[in-house]
Amino acid sequence: MKKIIISLSLLSIIALAIIGCEDYNDLTAPALNLGSANFTRFVSIGNSLTMGEQSSSVFESAQIYSFGNLIAKQVGTTYAQATFSDPGTGGRLEIASLNPFSTYVNPGQGTPTNLTYPAPYNNLGIKGAFLYDVLNARSANTCYTANFGSPNPLFNAVLRGLGTQLELTIAQQPTFITLWIGNNDILAFATRGGLFPPTDPAVFQTQYTQVLTALHSTGAQILIGGLPNALLTPYFTTVGPGVGQAIQGIPGAVGLVYQTTGAPGVSVATPTDLINKNVFITLSGSSAAGLLGNTTGKYYTDNNIPVPPGVNITFPFGLTPENPFPNNLVLDPTEIAAYLALKDGYNQIISGLAAGFGYSVINWDNLFNQLASSGGLMVNGNTYSATYVTGNFFSLDGIHPTSQGYGIIANEFIMAINNKYSASIPLVDVSTIPGSLVFKGDVSLGKYGIPNIPYGALDNVLF
C-alpha cells in the first residue's frame, strides 16, 4: 500500500512536469509593407461617408467599420472617432418585417462615448458636411445647412468647439490624409427632387482650392475621394419600378402625374419611364407611393404641410393633374441630366486640382457601375449589388453603405494607397465584417414590393 502511494505521488509529479510545458512554435504574421506611405498620424476629412453613417444614423457598432477605421486597423495606426452609443445620432431605420418588407424608425438616441478624447479626432467626417463646412463650420449654428434652417449638432459633437475640420486636421500635424468631400454639394439637389440648390461650380472650385492649398502646406500625403454617381444607389432606383408596375395594373392610368418645378407645373412619367429608371422616385417617397390612386390628401396631412394651391385632393393621388405626386419626391429626366452634369463638373474640378498637387483621386465609377450591373460585384465569396437590402452594399436608408459596403470602400482606398506608395497593405476580408441591417419588431404592409419607409425618415438624407 505504501509503495502504491509513493508510486502514485511520483507519477503525479512527472505528470505535472509534462503538463507544464507548452511547446508551441512561434508564429509571426507577415511583416506589413507600407512602401513610402506614412500613417504615423492619419486624419480623415469628410461627411457621413467618412463618419460611417448607416441606416440614417451614426452609431458605434457601425462606426467600427468606417472606412478610415478599417484602413487604420490594416496599417496599425491609432484612429480616434466621435462615437455614439447605439442606436446612434437618431432616426435609425430598422427592419420591422422582411416579408412584406417594412421598416421602423427607432425613436431612441445614443450618447457620445468618446467625448473626453484629449486630442482632435482622427476621423473628422461629419454627417451632412458640405465643402463650405470644411473651411468655415465651427458649430451647429455656423454650418452650411444652418443657413437653410437646419443647424447640425454633429458639428458640435465632432469639432467640440476646437476649430474647423481643416484647422483640426492641420493641428494634428498629419502624415496621411483622406479627403472625401463635396458629395452633399450636389446630393441634396437630387435627394430633394431637384429642390435644393446645388453649390455653384465656381464656388466649388474656389473652396476646394482653398482646402487643398491649406492641406498641402502640412506636407502630408493626401488621398482624395471623388464623387460617386448617387443615382445608382437604391435611394433612387428602388421605388420607381414598383410604382411603374402598379400603374400598369390600374385601368385608365397613363402614368405617374407629378409636379414639376417650372412650367407647365405637372408632367407624366409612363410606367416604362419608371421601370427603365428614366424617372426616379426617391426612397423617401415610398409611403406616398402607397397612396397612389387614392382620392386623398393624406400625404400632406401626414407631413403637416398645407395642401398646395391648385391641388384638389378629391382626385386620384399621383394619377391626375389635379392631385399630382409631389415634386420633391421625383427626379425627372431634366433634373437627372442636371445632376449628372454637375457631378461630372465637380469631379473635373477635383481631378484638375489634385493633379496640380500630385495627389491621387479615387474614381468610384467602376465600383458603382459594377454594383448596379446585373451580375453585381463578387468579393470574398459574396455578391454585392446596388439592390435595396438584398444587395448588402447599401444600408436601409438606401444611400449609405452597410458595414460590409464600407469594407469594400476601405479596400478601394487601400488599393489606391498600395498603387501610389508601392505599399502592400492587405485588403480587408469583407466577409469577416458582420451584417449591419438592424432588426426591430413592428410590422406593416408594403404593396408591389415597395418598401414601406415611414414619413419623414429620409427627408433630410445627405451624405
Partner 1 sequence: MKKYLYIILLIGGLFPGIILAGGFQLNEHGAKPMGLGGAFTAIVNDASAVYWNGAGLSYLEGTNLLLGTAIIGPSTSFRGVSPAVDKSTMMSQTFVPPHFFASHKISNAFSVGLGASVPFGLGTKWRDEWMGRYLAVETELQTISFPLVISWAIMDNLSISVGGSYSFADVTIAQANSQTPFVGDAFIHLEGDDKSAFGYNAGIMWKPTTDLSIGASFRSEVDYGFEGTATATGAEQLAAVLPTGNISAELTTPMNIQGGIGYRIIEQLQLSADFQWVGWSSYDVLAVDFEDPAYDDISRPRDYEDTYAIRFGAEYFLNNELAFLGGIYFDKMPVQPEYLSPSLPDADRLGFSFGIDAKVSENFGVSASYLFIRSSELTVTDSREIYTPYEEGNEESASKFNGTYNASANLFSFSLTYNF
- Of residues 358 and 435, the one with the C-beta less far from partner 1: 435
CB 228 within 8 A of CB 381: no
Q: How far is the CB of 233 from partner 1 (least distance, A)?
A: 15
Other Cβ atoms less than 10 A from the Cβ of 198: the count is 20
| Cα dihedral across residues 157, 161, 167, 173: positive or negative | negative
CB 66 within 8 A of CB 52: yes
In SS3 terms, 205-223 reads as HHHHHHHHHHHHCCCCEEE
Residue 66 makes contact with partner 1 by CB under 8 A: no
Query: Using CA atoms, how far apart are residues 190 and 335, in angstroms rounded to an integer?
Result: 8
Contacts of 294 (CB under 8 A, 6+ apart): 316, 317
Q: Which of 347, 402, 411, 452 binds partner 1 (CB under 8 A)?
A: 402
Cell numbers placing 152: 447640425
> For 241, what's the count of Cα atoms within 13 Å in the CB-facing half-sphere?
11
Q: Which of 35, 426, 449, 456 binds partner 1 (CB under 8 A)?
A: 426
| Cα dihedral across residues 321, 327, 330, 332: positive or negative | positive
* Options 21-29, 117-125, 217-225, 283-291: segment touching partner 1 (CB under 8 A): 21-29
240-269 positions binding partner 1, by CB under 8 A: none
Q: Which of 37, 159, 166, 389 binds partner 1 (CB under 8 A)?
A: 389
- Of residues 120 and 376, the one with the C-beta less far from partner 1: 376
Residue 13 makes contact with partner 1 by CB under 8 A: no
Q: How far is the CB of 5 from partner 1 (least distance, A)?
A: 7
- Of residues 14 and 307, the one with the C-beta less far from partner 1: 14
Q: How far is the CB of 107 from partner 1 (least distance, A)?
A: 18
CB 418 within 8 A of CB 27: no
Q: Give phi and psi for 17, each to the nearest 5.
A: -60, -40
Lay out the site mask for partner 1 across 339-378 (x = CB under 8 A, - = otherwise): ---------------------------------------x
* Options 4-12, 215-223, 280-288, 452-460: segment touching partner 1 (CB under 8 A): 4-12
Residue 282 makes contact with partner 1 by CB under 8 A: no
CB 420 within 8 A of CB 76: no
Cell numbers placing 193: 427632387
Q: How far is the CB of 105 from partner 1 (least distance, A)?
A: 16
Query: Using CA atoms, how far apart are residues 288 and 275, in angstroms rounded to an integer?
Result: 18
Query: Using CA atoms, how far apart are residues 97 and 100, in angstroms rounded to an integer?
Result: 6
Residue 1 makes contact with partner 1 by CB under 8 A: yes
Q: Which of 95, 105, 158, 425 binds partner 1 (CB under 8 A)?
A: 95
Q: Which of 292, 437, 458, 461 binds partner 1 (CB under 8 A)?
A: 437
Residue 435 makes contact with partner 1 by CB under 8 A: yes
CB 221 within 8 A of CB 38: yes
Query: Using CA atoms, how far apart are residues 85 and 396, in angstroms rounded to an integer?
Result: 19
* Options 164-172, 199-207, 242-250, 426-434: segment touching partner 1 (CB under 8 A): 426-434
Q: Which of 9, 15, 119, 303 binds partner 1 (CB under 8 A)?
A: 15
* Options 28-36, 120-128, 294-302, 325-333: segment touching partner 1 (CB under 8 A): 28-36
Give the H/E segment covering residue 196. none
Name the nearest CA neighbour of 284 among 106, 48, 454, 103.
454
Q: How far is the CB of 4 from partner 1 (least distance, A)?
A: 5
Query: Using CA atoms, how far apart are residues 445 and 219, in angstroms rounded to an integer?
Result: 55
Lay out the site mask for partner 1 across 33-62 (x = CB under 8 A, - = otherwise): ----------------------------x-
**Which residues form the interface with partner 1 (CB under 8 A)?**
1, 3-5, 7-8, 11-12, 14-15, 18-19, 22-25, 27-30, 61, 95-99, 378-383, 389-390, 392, 402, 404, 426, 429, 431-432, 434-439, 441
